[in-house]
Amino acid sequence: MIYRALFDHVLTRTDPERAHHTAFRAIRAGRPVTALLARSVGAPGTPVQALGLTFPNVLGLAAGFDKNAVGIDALAALGFGHVEIGTVTGEGQPGNPTPRLFRLPEDRAVVNRMGFNNDGAEVVAARLKARGRRPGVVLGVNIGKTKVVPDDDQAAVESDYEKSARLLSPYADYLVVNVSSPNTPGLRNLQAVEKLQPLLEHVRRAADQARDTRVPLLVKIAPDLADEDVLGVADMALAIGLDGIIATNTTISRAGLRTPTSKVQEVGAGGLSGRPLTDRSLEVLRLLRGRVGPDLTLIGVGGITTVADAQARLDAGATLLQGYTAFIYEGPLWPRRIVKGVAQ
């Protein structure tokens, strides 16, 4: 309640991107304290076996918060059982012009058009190498397309993703191919199965060549796919032996928002995340589970705010969960609250 009052009356008055960087610095600076507290109270929740790995608990932090792998262990100390870094692209890039991050407090939502701003695969790989392998948190690495690579040049796209897979998969507990952000021109075109399948097969080969052990490979899809396209991705995942699907990324829809239309139009383009995504993300998850059967790993993300939201996603067939926007709105105690609530 204290954090929510602080957020509503103070943080909402500051630039969202500046507030993010300030909060993330505070999380990293506070790691010695949060790590000590985490050790004293023990790991929250119940371990989950998935992807051939043991996840300390069911909840992870979705990609986008830690784009450059600078705060993995500090975030884990807050109670996240896995942290997914990125999206990382083959080449470093500044992303879209600012402002590019916006809050919609009335909807407990965020709109972003960041544009995959990140340091690039080489820099992030060096950072992960220096960090080394550490117990206590599962590390996911989310990779995407460099903006200047044309989406209609399949060979160039595959080469771009291959670079990231080759450099980053040696340090990843699992690898995610992101083809579903709305903020890189043409990226979502790669979700078409005829483009997605050869891309995933190419990434699979590159990852296998880069390390001795097999890294689990997943794909992250958009909530805006038509139902038949969601089922097509499910069929493709089974056909090529994909390890899992993350459902879902942000949406370009603005339907049903409480925020005044004038403000929504002022914010402009970008991916919407948070509470408005809850129903569609749950629906996509149900479609996927019904199609792929009980064994494929499905990670539910999008609009998970309460324990009831988390439980509904698990009941619909999610193996694991992720959050991001609720973490912003609810604060640093949110991960443990969700994990503890689900466990109870």
Binding residues: 63-67, 87, 112-116, 142, 178, 183, 220, 248-250, 274, 303, 324-325
Active site residue 262: no
C-alpha distance from residue 233 to each of 159, 230, 270, 337 (Å) = 22, 5, 24, 33
Distance CA 61, CA 78 (A): 10
Instruction: Say whether 314 sits in a helix, a strand or coil.
Output: helix
Q: Tally Cβ neighbours within 10 Å of residue 61.
A: 27
Residues annotated within a binding site for substrate: 67, 112-116, 178, 183, 249-250
Instruction: Say whether 250 sits in a helix, a strand or coil.
Output: coil
Active-site choice (181, 253, 262, 273): 181
Distance CA 326, CA 230 (A): 25
| Structural contact between residues 75 and 24, judged by C-beta atoms closer than 8 angstroms | no
| Structural contact between residues 61 and 75, judged by C-beta atoms closer than 8 angstroms | yes
Distance CA 209, CA 204 (A): 9
Distance CA 74, CA 168 (A): 20
What values do phi and psi take at 146, rounded to 5?
-65, 135
Edge-to-edge strands, sheet with 101-104: 101-104, 109-112, 271-274
Distance CA 51, CA 214 (A): 11
Residue 71 burial (10 A CB sphere; 0-12, 13-18, 19+): buried
Distance CA 140, CA 63 (A): 8
What values do phi and psi take at 242, rounded to 5?
-65, 150
Rounded (10°) CA dihedral 197, 202, 204, 205: 140
Residues annotated within a binding site for FMN: 63-67, 87, 142, 178, 220, 248, 274, 303, 324-325
Active site residues: 181
